Amino acid sequence: MTTHVLILCTHNSARSVLSEGMLNHLAKKLGKDVKAHSAGSAPSGRLNPFAIEALNNAGIDTAAYRSKSWDEFSTDGAPPLSIVITVCDSAAAEACPVFFGGKGQPVKVHWGYPDPSNAEGGDEGKRRAFELTRQAIGYKMLQLLALPLDTMDQGALLAALNGIARS
């Protein structure tokens, strides 16, 4: 059974998109039955070009990606979510979305990353920040994919995901 993971950020334009791309890419590479989705509580309607560039440079096809609302994941026909991860940076007093979704409550965890679109140093500084954020997200996604997702109960899964958050 596919494990569906929803990654949320406010605008669904940068960190959540990087996370969706990395998790799907790594899951496919490792032969894991995990599908990532991303959404925002207030989607911008556009993807950050630096996020797309960082994913494309890592060999990830982003042609089908779009900025979308989390509302799509609480309707009939939405994938049954096992995990919801917020990736906004609460340390920067950024408002993180809280998801109340669907059938059976998914395990919810927060993995905060600073917003790379606020990086200094012009376009080159932003490119560097997006690439470093993509790598940091990839590291956490590899840890998620190493978990025995199909045999863990919600309590064990939450504990493991919170452990990854602290890594």
**Is residue 142 situated within a structural domain?**
yes
**Is residue 167 situated within a structural domain?**
no
As for how many domains the chain has, the answer is 1
Catalytic residues: 9, 88, 96
Q: What is the pTM of this model?
A: 0.92
**Is residue 165 situated within a structural domain?**
no
Q: What is the CATH number of the domain that holds 133?
A: 3.40.50.2300
**Is residue 166 situated within a structural domain?**
no
- Distance separating alpha carbons of residues 165 and 167, to the nearest angstrom: 6
**Is residue 85 situated within a structural domain?**
yes
Contact 70, 7 (CB under 8 A): no
Helix axes 15-30, 122-145, angle to 10 degrees: 40
**Is residue 13 situated within a structural domain?**
yes
**Is residue 164 situated within a structural domain?**
no
pLDDT tens-digit readout, 83-124: 999 998 754 444 555 555 545 688 999 999 999 999 999 999
pLDDT tens-digit readout, 22-75: 999 999 999 999 999 999 988 999 999 999 999 999 999 999 999 999 889 888
**Is residue 147 situated within a structural domain?**
yes
Domain that holds residue 31: 3-155
